[in-house]
Amino acid sequence: MIKRLFAIFLLLTSALVNAEPASNIAWTPDALNFVKEGSLKKGKQLAESCMGCHGEKGISQIDDFPSLAGQLATYTYKQLRDYADGKRTNALMNSVAVGLSEQDSANLAVWFASLPEAQHKVKQQNLEKAEVLVAKGNGKKIIPPCFTCHGSNGQGVRQDIPALAGQQVEYFINTLTEYKNGVRHNDVYSRMRLISEQLSEEDIKQLAQYYYQMRK
């Protein structure tokens, strides 16, 4: 059932590819190696200017700014380049990313990926809706289980699909809401836009809390 649901979802999203690409990043072997070979030393130096928003060790202390520690290097790199190219819009990050070279972006990406991810101690809540969406999805709405892309522990499993474990609640909510409203559109094949359109506000809030308290 899960495989069939995911196959249907991929067919639908593939049919909605726009002439204008959602991102200029193409994950060729050369591109993957380029990011992988980023410099930790130079990334650490560059990250000093990121602390105000993303935290001293990549763990944000501001609700609506994302934690970057432990994030997939390929994902962080893609977001930085998408900001630089105007494929993803945020006034602050657009101005920051346009000043970064591709090499700078790779260096920052591998540095943040090397840091221990955020871990939060929180009071357990009733997150039944989120648990169902993560484990089973919703066949009626053609929503695949979250774990098929983001991993059973929220660790992220593909180049452009992020780790979610420990992410800030407010940032998570804002991100899915931006996908839902079409404000954010740098997801390949419109996958997250299609999924988010089917999620209620309560679904999104529960998913945000679910992943916030998850550990990889």
* Residue 18 in this model has a pLDDT that exceeds 50: no
- Please state the domain extents for the chain: 2-14+122-212, 29-52+65-113
**The CATH classification of domain 29-52+65-113, taken from the options 1.20.1740.10, 1.10.760.10, 1.10.150.20, 3.40.50.300:** 1.10.760.10
Helix (H, G, I), strand (E, B) or coil at 155: coil
The answer to whether 2-14+122-212 and 29-52+65-113 have equal CATH topology is: yes
Q: How far is it, in rounded angstroms, from Cα 2 to Cα 48? A: 43
What's the burial of 15, exposed, middle or buried (CB within 10 Å: 0-12/13-18/19+)?
Answer: exposed
User: What are 33-73's pLDDT values in tens digits?
Assistant: 999 999 999 999 999 999 999 999 999 999 999 999 999 99
* Residue 13 in this model has a pLDDT that exceeds 90: no
**The CATH classification of domain 2-14+122-212, taken from the options 1.10.760.10, 1.10.150.80, 3.90.550.10, 1.10.10.10:** 1.10.760.10
* Residue 165 in this model has a pLDDT that exceeds 60: yes
* Residue 16 in this model has a pLDDT that exceeds 80: no
* Residue 10 in this model has a pLDDT that exceeds 70: no
User: What are 122-162's pLDDT values in tens digits?
Assistant: 767 789 999 999 999 999 998 999 999 999 999 998 888 99
Task: State the pTM of this model.
Answer: 0.88
